[in-house]
C-alpha cells in the first residue's frame, strides 16, 4: 500500500486483493459484533492464504474460529448460527471442498427463507478461492460459478479487482441472504489501484451490478474473476488492429446484470463471453441464452461466441493446464471470428 495519511482525498494506492479482503473482514468484524469468521486455519495460522492475517489476535477466539477439517460440520454450524441471528463468514480453503458441504449450502442455507415463508433468514457468507490455481490438478480446479449460480435462494458474487473484493465482501456480509463469494487464489497477491473512497469503511459495491471496465464500440466481452484481466489484455492487443472491445466485469453471477450486457450488445452488435469454467451449462451459456431471448438479439450481427475452459478434468502438467484454460490468444481468436476478420 503506497497511500499515506497525508495523501490528498482522491489519492489512489496500490492494494492487493488479499489486503482488500482483510480490510473488509476487519471493518465488518469491528462494525457488527454479530459477524464472526470460521474455517480451517483462519485463526492462529492467519488463514491458509493470509486473508485473515491479524484478525484472531485482534478479535479473539469467539470471533475468529479455527475448525476441524470437516466442511459439512462447520458449514452446518455456521448456517445454524445465521438462523439464530449471527452473521457468519464461512471460509472454504478452496471451493472444491465446498462439495463436502453442498447439502448445507443449498438445502439448509439457500432454501430456508422460501420454505419458512420468509420467517427464517440465513445471513451467511461462504467464501474462499474458486476455479483453477496453478498445478493443483483436477480435484482442486473447478469453477463453481455455474454450480451455485444455478440455485435460487443464493446470491453469488465473483470479484476481479481489489475494489471488487472489498466492496462485494462488505455487501455480502451485510446482506440478509446467503451469499457465495468466489475469489481467485492467483489474484490474492495482485495489486490493483484503489481510490481513497474505495478504502473507506462505508464502501460497498451493490450485489447484482456489473461494471464496464473498458468502453468500446465493436464487440462486447463479458467475463468474471481472473478472465476479466485476460479480456483487458486481449482488448489492448486488438485495439492495435483497430478493434475497440467493450469489457464488462460481471462482478455478480446471481442475480445477473443483464441490462448492462444487453445495452452493450445493442451498441457493439457482437458478443463474446469468457470464463474459466467448463462449457456445458456454464455462465457464458446462460448469458448467450438470455441475449437470444431478450431485446438485444435483434442487434446481433453475428452469433455470440463462448470462450471457456476445456471440457475435461484439469490436467496436472503445466503445459496441459495452460491449454485447458482460456488464454489471451483464445479471446483474440474468438473476437476475430465473430467480427469475421
- Annotated active-site residue 150? The verdict is no
Buried b / exposed e along 23-32 (16+ C-beta atoms within 10 A)? bbbbbbbeee
Written as nine digits, the cell of 224 is 468474471
Would you say the C-alpha torsion 275, 277, 280, 285 has a positive or negative sign? negative
Q: Which bin fits 183, alpha (ψ -120 to 50), beta or left (φ > 0)?
A: beta
Choice among 27, 40, 91, 140 that is catalytic: 140
Helix axes 162-174, 17-31, angle to 10 degrees: 30
Residue closest to 159 by CA, chosen among 220, 98, 99, 205 = 205
What cell does 208 get?
A: 447484482
Contacts of 225 (CB under 8 A, 6+ apart): 130, 131, 143, 145, 158, 159, 160, 182, 183, 184, 187, 276
Alpha-carbon distance 302 to 157, whole Å?
29
Q: How far apart are the first and last CA of the chain?
A: 43
Which residue, chain included where needed, has cell 446467503?
178
Rounded distance, CA 213 to CA 250, Å? Answer: 10
| Given 71, 91, 183, 275, the catalytic residue | 71
Known catalytic residue at 71 = yes
Residues designated as active site: 71, 140
Amino acid at each position: 500500500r503506497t497511500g499515506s495519511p497525508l495523501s490528498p482525498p482522491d489519492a489512489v494506492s496500490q492494494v492487493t486483493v488479499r489486503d482488500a479482503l482483510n480490510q473488509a473482514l476487519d471493518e465488518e468484524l469491528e462494525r457488527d459484533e454479530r459477524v464472526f469468521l470460521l474455517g480451517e486455519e483462519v485463526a492462529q495460522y492467519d488463514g491458509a492464504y493470509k486473508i485473515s492475517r491479524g484478525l484472531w489476535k485482534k478479535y479473539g477466539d469467539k470471533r475468529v474460529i479455527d475448525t476441524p477439517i470437516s466442511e459439512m460440520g462447520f458449514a452446518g454450524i455456521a448456517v445454524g448460527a445465521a438462523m439464530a441471528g449471527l452473521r457468519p463468514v464461512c471460509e472454504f480453503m478452496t471451493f472444491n471442498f465446498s462439495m463436502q458441504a453442498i447439502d448445507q449450502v443449498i438445502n439448509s442455507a439457500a432454501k430456508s427463507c422460501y420454505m419458512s415463508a420468509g420467517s427464517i433468514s440465513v445471513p451467511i457468507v461462504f467464501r474462499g478461492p474458486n476455479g483453477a490455481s496453478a498445478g493443483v490438478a483436477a480435484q482442486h480446479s473447478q469453477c463453481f460459478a455455474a454450480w451455485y449460480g444455478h440455485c435460487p435462494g443464493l446470491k453469488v458474487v465473483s470479484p476481479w479487482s481489489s475494489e471488487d473484493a472489498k466492496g462485494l465482501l462488505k455487501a455480502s456480509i451485510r446482506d440478509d441472504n446467503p451469499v457465495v463469494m468466489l475469489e481467485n487464489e492467483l489474484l490474492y497477491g495482485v495489486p490493483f489501484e484503489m481510490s481513497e473512497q474505495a478504502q473507506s469503511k462505508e464502501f460497498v459495491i451493490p450485489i447484482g451490478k456489473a461494471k464496464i471496465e473498458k468502453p468500446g464500440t465493436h464487440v462486447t466481452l463479458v467475463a468474471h474473476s481472473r478472465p476479466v484481466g485476460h479480456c483487458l489484455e486481449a482488448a489492448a492487443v486488438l485495439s492495435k488492429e483497430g478493434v475497440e472491445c467493450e469489457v464488462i466485469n460481471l462482478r455478480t453471477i446471481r442475480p445477473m446484470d443483464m441490462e448492462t450486457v444487453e445495452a452493450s450488445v445493442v451498441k457493439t452488435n457482437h458478443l463474446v463471453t469468457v470464463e474459466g469454467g467448463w462449457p456445458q451449462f456454464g455462465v457464458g451459456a446462460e448469458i448467450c441464452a438470455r441475449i437470444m431471448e431478450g431485446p438485444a438479439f435483434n442487434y446481433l450481427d453475428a452469433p455470440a461466441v463462448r470462450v471457456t475452459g476445456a471440457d475435461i478434468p484439469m490436467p496436472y502438467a503445466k503445459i496441459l493446464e495452460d491449454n485447458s484454460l482460456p488464454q489471451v490468444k483464445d479471446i483474440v481468436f474468438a473476437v476475430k471470428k465473430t467480427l469475421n476478420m
